[in-house]
């Protein structure tokens, strides 16, 4: 006898009453299966839940032998129940015992039942259990009955997640309470022991069953309308820098938000008697389950979009707008996010922030630069972590090793506590070297400078014992601002930088006024933005913006020395054009009676391979030069440093790259032009050692790297290294890493 149309709502109402009763978990489970059996008019209703070892355990039944409860276990994929769990979709069989997947379990007494229907219990798209009903007669179950079972399964899943069915015997293994280890790509080294903060906290759906279905439908329609309006406005406005959004993500959001099939499934879920929030959760679970099992990776990649869209909709329904930064932050926060913009990271209390874990994003993204500036441990490309964590989980982030330990055991905590104490002792050793000049054993002085990009970087200049600021990334100021900073704002910023640097050398500013990240000048989406309209190209195309920044720099100098570095020079004509604009601003400054800089130096950043064959033309025009190793390396090897599939295909100690660096050093020496190198290589002791062997005597790095690199320099004989490196560069090896490690070990160099 099929269930009536109103059966799902009636069953949900009765289920709500069971949930409200103050009884043991097992008693509630027993009542749930009785309720479902009577509502569906079935002789058997059984509930199986997945254990930690992957087996499915019979935890409650109405109709089968009660002695089978907690004694019947099915291996992954075993039987019809295992088949439903594996494929995460409803299945029914009129004569189940003759199906090839049927597994006879004599302790259950189910051999007298023929018809069978089962639905998966889904949480986050993953199967955590199976709900089944059986009858003696061979029959087909109606769509309404299957729908009622699916809706009930969804409610059971939410009750499990909220702890409503937890006992020592039942469902403990289905919760996110097991220790787990995730790996990712390091973007800022360090170790953090703390507790998880979700950047976009999950909305916990506590009200599952609707009192008034029409009211819930109106609430959902209004929330969808608000959501689509919000996405359309963000797309039209193009203001994505501060929100950390990517245009392709918003395109996916808009596609899903306007999808009629998605809206229809939401409406169908509402019709079963769920609240608007529960309907969103139900559709999210079903969609994720289907997409997780699709063979095409492109479809699986859309899972994050479904989660993001559903979370946004749930926040609109609940009225919540808090992010992790605005909530109650623990003293030892480790923030977890899918992706994040640099401005969002700066919203967090830096006294409480210990670490950052991202599912997506490159190791050289701007948020990675900010993480390094903050000195917090951070990793990216940590796949699947958002599905495994809960707000407040204990965690250990080992960014040096690229590992995140969730809910760690006491043994893991003890091991990392020892590691943190060891690191603290090493930092104390580095601190003792703060005022010691970076001089090699053969009396070669190496200038160690810091890379900076924000005002809170400036105290690191004194704390690290650096010689000066090798690179101040002016573009970060534009990125974290929702509007283009005015002349006076920029002037105040640059004045603060110059004040902090004082008389120390290499105070340089990378002039990127029309940065690609600034909302006011954001270009249309490009196929390959690293090779596109950026840096000096944008500055020359937007001369008014470029001149505003130059004017601010000149005013900030106020009679002091200032150095301006021009990025992404690929042709000498670009340097000449930019230099003319700068000279024009100097004349305007003098015409208005303002003090001109004591000394104005304009430098070229060498990061485009084409410039390697123009050094004899550009260096005589430049007052100094700097190698941008990050971009130069990715362009030399045609490997996008933000693409994890190719970013590790080359070694920075490849002889081809080192020969290019040596060519730059020799050209700078030939033209007597001061040279430095800014980039990730400079901050790693082994790579920095190679650079010194090539002839670099000025390098710039993150503040935390100054101590380790200085310790290396103090134990190095640069002359011996240069001789050995010249020999190695003539070999046919594709990497000199192991050879340089052996040199360091044999020579007692601290790396």
What's the rounded Cα separation, in Å, for the pair 267 and 65?
39
- Indicate the pLDDT class of residue 354, thresholds 50, 70 and 90: very high
Tell me the mean pLDDT in the region 375-398: 87
Look at the pTM and tell me if it is higher than 0.85. no
Q: Are 504 and 563 in contact (CB under 8 A)?
A: no
Tell me the mean pLDDT in the region 46-66: 91
Q: Kindly report the length of the chain.
A: 751
Least confident of 1-5, 358-362, 507-511, 623-627: 1-5
- Tokens representing 563? 């150095």
Query: Which of the pair, 295 or 188, is modelled with greater confidence?
Result: 188
In DSSP notation, 24-64 reads -HHHHHHHHHHHHHHHHT-SEEEEEEE-TTS-EEEEEEESS
pLDDT at 520 over 70: no
pLDDT at 733 over 70: yes
Give the per-residue pLDDT at 525: 54
Give the per-residue pLDDT at 749: 93
Residue from 53, 718, 116 nearest 446 by CA: 718
DSSP state of 505: S
What's the rounded Cα separation, in Å, for the pair 586 and 457?
29
Q: Are 509 and 500 in contact (CB under 8 A)?
A: no
For residue range 173-215, list pLDDT tens digits in order. 444 556 788 999 888 888 899 999 988 776 767 777 888 888 9
- Indicate the pLDDT class of residue 236, thresholds 50, 70 and 90: low
Give the per-residue pLDDT at 737: 94
- H/E segment holding residue 626: strand 624-628
For residue range 656-710, list pLDDT tens digits in order. 999 999 999 999 999 999 999 988 899 999 999 999 999 999 999 888 788 999 9
Burial code (b: 16+ CB inside 10 Å, e: under 16) for 501-512 equals beeebbbbbbbb
Torsion of the alpha carbons at 488, 494, 495 and 500, rounded to the nearest 10: 150
- Indicate the pLDDT class of residue 239, thresholds 50, 70 and 90: very low
At 676, give phi and psi (nearest 5°).
Answer: -135, 175
In DSSP notation, 316-364 reads HHHT----TTTS---TTEEEEES---HHHHHTS-TTTEEEEEESS--TT
Domains within the chain, CATH numbers bracketed: 7-174 (3.30.450.40), 180-201+324-420 (3.50.30.10), 213-318 (1.10.274.10), 438-747 (3.20.20.60)
Give the per-residue pLDDT at 493: 80
Mean pLDDT of the chain: 82
- Indicate the pLDDT class of residue 274, thresholds 50, 70 and 90: confident
What's the rounded Cα separation, in Å, for the pair 355 and 184?
13
For residue range 467-512, list pLDDT tens digits in order. 888 888 776 666 555 456 788 888 888 888 788 777 765 555 554 4
For residue range 72-131, list pLDDT tens digits in order. 999 988 999 999 999 889 999 999 988 999 998 999 999 899 999 999 998 767 788 999
Query: Which of the pair, 699 or 360, is modelled with greater confidence?
Result: 699
What's the rounded Cα separation, in Å, for the pair 241 and 621?
35
Residue 658 CB partners (closer than 8 Å, separation 6+): 690, 694, 725, 729, 736
Tell me the mean pLDDT in the region 443-460: 81
Tell me the mean pLDDT in the region 443-447: 95
Give the per-residue pLDDT at 163: 61
pLDDT at 590 over 70: yes
CA distances from 270 to 211, 221, 555 (A): 11, 11, 63
- Tokens representing 718? 């640069």
What's the rounded Cα separation, in Å, for the pair 174 and 196?
20
What's the rounded Cα separation, in Å, for the pair 465 and 703?
9
pLDDT at 167 over 50: no
């Amino acid at each position: 006898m099929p269930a009536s149309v109103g059966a799902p709502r009636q069953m949900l109402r009765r289920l709500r009453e069971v949930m409200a009763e103050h009884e043991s978990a097992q008693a509630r489970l027993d009542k749930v299966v009785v309720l479902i059996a009577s509502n569906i008019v079935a002789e058997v209703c059984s509930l199986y839940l997945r254990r930690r070892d992957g087996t499915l355990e019979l935890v409650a039944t109405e109709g089968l032998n009660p002695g089978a409860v907690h004694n019947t276990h099915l291996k992954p994929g075993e039987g019809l129940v295992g088949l439903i769990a594996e494929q995460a979709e409803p299945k029914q069989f009129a004569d189940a015992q003759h199906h090839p997947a049927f597994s006879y379990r004599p302790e259950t007494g189910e051999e007298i039942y023929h018809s069978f229907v089962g639905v998966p219990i889904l949480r986050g798209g993953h199967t955590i259990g199976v709900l089944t009903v059986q009858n003696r007669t061979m029959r087909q179950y109606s769509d309404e009955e299957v729908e009622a079972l699916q809706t009930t399964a969804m409610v059971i899943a939410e009750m499990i997640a909220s702890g409503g069915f937890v006992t020592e015997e039942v469902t403990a293994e289905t919760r996110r309470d097991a220790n787990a280890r995730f790996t990712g790509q390091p973007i800022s080294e360090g170790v953090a022991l703390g507790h998880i903060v979700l950047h976009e906290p999950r909305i916990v759906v506590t009200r599952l069953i609707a009192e008034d279905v029409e009211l819930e439908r109106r609430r959902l329609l209004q929330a969808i309308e608000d959501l689509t309006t919000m996405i359309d406005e963000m797309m039209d406005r193009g203001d994505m820098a501060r929100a950390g959004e990517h245009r392709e993500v918003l395109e996916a959001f808009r596609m899903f938000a306007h999808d009629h099939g998605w809206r229809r499934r939401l409406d169908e879920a509402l019709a079963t008697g769920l609240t608007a929030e529960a309907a969103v959760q139900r559709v999210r679970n079903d969609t994720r389950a289907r997409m997780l099992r699709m063979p095409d990776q492109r479809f699986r990649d859309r899972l994050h979009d479904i989660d993001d869209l559903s979370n946004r909709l749930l926040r609109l329904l609940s009225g919540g707008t808090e992010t992790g930064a605005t909530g109650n932050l623990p003293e030892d926060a480790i923030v977890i996010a899918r992706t994040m913009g640099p401005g969002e990271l700066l919203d967090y209390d830096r006294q409480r922030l210990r670490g950052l874990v991202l599912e997506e994003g490159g190791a050289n993204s701007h948020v990675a630069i900010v993480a390094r500036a903050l000195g917090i441990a951070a990793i990216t490309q940590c796949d699947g972590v958002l599905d495994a964590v809960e707000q407040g989980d204990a965690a250990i982030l080992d960014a040096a090793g690229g590992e995140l330990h969730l809910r760690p055991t006491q043994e893991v905590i003890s091991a990392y506590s020892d590691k943190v104490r060891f690191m603290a002792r090493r930092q104390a050793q580095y601190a003792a070297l703060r005022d010691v000049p970076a001089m090699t054993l053969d009396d070669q002085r190496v200038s160690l400078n810091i890379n900076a990009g924000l005002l809170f970087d400036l105290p690191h200049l004194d704390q690290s014992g650096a010689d000066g600021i090798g690179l101040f990334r002016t573009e970060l100021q534009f990125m974290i601002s929702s509007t283009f900073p005015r002349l006076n704002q920029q002037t105040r910023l640059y004045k603060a930088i110059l004040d902090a640097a004082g008389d120390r050398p290499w105070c340089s500013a990378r002039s990127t006024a029309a940065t690609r990240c600034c909302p006011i000048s954001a270009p249309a989406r490009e196929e390959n933005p690293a090779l596109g309209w950026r840096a000096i190209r944008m500055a020359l195309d937007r001369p008014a913006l470029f001149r505003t920044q130059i004017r601010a720099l000149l005013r900030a100098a106020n009679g002091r020395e200032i150095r301006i570095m021009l990025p992404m020079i690929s042709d000498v004509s670009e340097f000449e054009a930019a230099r003319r604009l700068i000279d024009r601003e100097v004349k305007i400054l003098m015409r208005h009676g303002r003090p001109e800089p004591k000394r104005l130096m304009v430098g070229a950043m060498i990061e485009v391979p084409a410039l390697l064959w123009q050094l004899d033309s550009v260096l005589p025009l430049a007052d100094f030069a700097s190698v941008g190793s990050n971009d130069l390396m990715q362009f030399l090897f045609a490997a996008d440093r933000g693409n994890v599939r190719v970013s590790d295909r080359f070694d920075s100690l490849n002889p081809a790259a080192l020969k290019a660096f040596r060519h730059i050093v020799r050209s700078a020496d030939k033209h007597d032009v001061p040279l430095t190198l800014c980039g990730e290589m400079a901050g790693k002791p082994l790579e920095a050692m190679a650079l010194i062997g090539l002839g670099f005597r000025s390098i710039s790095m993150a503040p935390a790297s100054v101590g380790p690199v200085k310790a290396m320099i103090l134990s190095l004989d640069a002359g011996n290294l240069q001789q050995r490196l010249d020999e190695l560069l003539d070999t046919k090896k594709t990497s000199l890493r192991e050879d340089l490690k052996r040199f360091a070990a044999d020579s007692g160099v601290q790396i």
